[in-house]
Amino acid sequence: MPAGSSPKRERQYEHIKDGLKKRGRSEDVAEEIAARTVNKERARSGEAKEKSRTSTQDISSSRRGGLRSHSGSKGRTKDQLYNEAKQKNVKGRSKMTKAELAKAVGR
């Protein structure tokens, strides 16, 4: 962690790193991902001296992780995709395959 990081950011870094290691990532990769995530959050909250445009305008790390969680190895189920297509008023959704639904909802 960068010098002068708050205790909250230190805890966040350790929490992310430990979670990644439990999921099978190597020590080096876990450290890099944790550092990048914490640095992005520091930039978003104005704690960092320098920040990139994507750090401040992109979707937050915690939200992005929440969107990706529980997707399993093959992503969302056909029912989940169908419901999203229904919300977006996609025409012909009832006859679409899972792959077609995924393409139609744009993910």
CA distance 97 to 60: 31
Q: Residue 39: exposed, middle, or buried by beta-carbon count in 10 A (0-12, 13-18, 19+)?
A: buried
Does the global pTM surpass 0.75?
Answer: no
DSSP state of 106: T
Each residue's pLDDT tens digit, 21-49: 998 989 999 999 998 888 888 888 778 77
Q: Please report which confidence band the pLDDT of residue 67 belongs to, taking 50, 70 and 90 as the band edges.
A: low
Residue 25 CA neighbour count, 13 Å, CB half: 15
Tokens representing residue 9 in the block: 């950011």
